[in-house]
Chains A and B, each alone.
Chain A
Amino acid sequence: SAVISQKPSRDICQRGTSLTIQCQVDSQVTMMFWYRQQPGQSLTLIATANQGSEATYESGFVIDKFPISRPNLTFSTLTVSNMSPEDSSIYLCSVEQVGGRSSYNEQFFGPGTRLTVL
């Protein structure tokens, strides 16, 4: 399976500031996604990071708040802009790749970035 790393692993930020989270994959992948897990909640899809074009955002998420870059097939960034305490979450990137154990592609997750906004 793909090896996915995220930077930073955690951060504590002041409200009103922005944080950029990086996601690096050890192989080229077509589909990359960004998810959020708020405290005590499930994982929610923020957007699909498209290589060479704008990200596709899910309902409730907008580009101004969560700008995403995908400059190539192994790297993406998610920025959390103008942060408030409600943005305190774990942010995870995921990639879809042929997993080998099924005839379908499987989706693998990075270790996550734990963000706390004061």
Chain B
Amino acid sequence: DQQVKQNSPSLSVQEGRISILNCDYTNSMFDYFLWYKKYPAEGPTFLISISSIKDKNEDGRFTVFLNKSAKHLSLHIVPSQPGDSAVYFCAATPRSGTSYGKLTFGQGTILTVHP
């Protein structure tokens, strides 16, 4: 049972345009969501997070939107740069209970930004 899903295995975007990466979840206990970027041969790098009490969080070129009723979140990168080309993982966790801090990851989306 895939509790966190990224249905687009890949996304190709032109430099300077917006990249939108999507993520859906099924577990209602998840109330904290994170996005990671991963280059080959490196560990995931934390990008941005959002708690379920918010519907938007911004950090520079990165914005995460959360639609709690639809159990959907998205990561917007504006403007996209070639250096953003990587695998992006969505992750979710409950902030209480025995599963506190345990991240459940989506399958990842390969983002390619063309110059």
Contact = CB atoms under 8 A, between A and B. Distances in A.
A92 interface: yes
A109 B107 CA distance: 17
B34 A111 contact: no
A108 B107 contact: no
Contacts of B49: 101-102, 104, 106
A107 interface: yes
Q: Which secondary structure dominates where chain A touches chain B?
A: strand
B43 A104 contact: no
Contacts of B107: 41-42
A31 B100 CA distance: 10
Nearest to B98: A56
Interface stretch (A11-19, A43-51, A66-74, A78-86): A43-51
Given A41-B107, A43-B44, A111-B43, A106 B34 contact: yes
A44 B102 CA distance: 10
10 shortest interchain CB distances as A-B pairs:
A109-B43, A43-B105, A42-B105, A111-B43, A109-B44, A112-B43, A42-B107, A110-B43, A96-B101, A31-B101
Interface of B: 32, 34, 36, 41-46, 48-49, 51, 57, 59, 89, 91, 95, 101-108
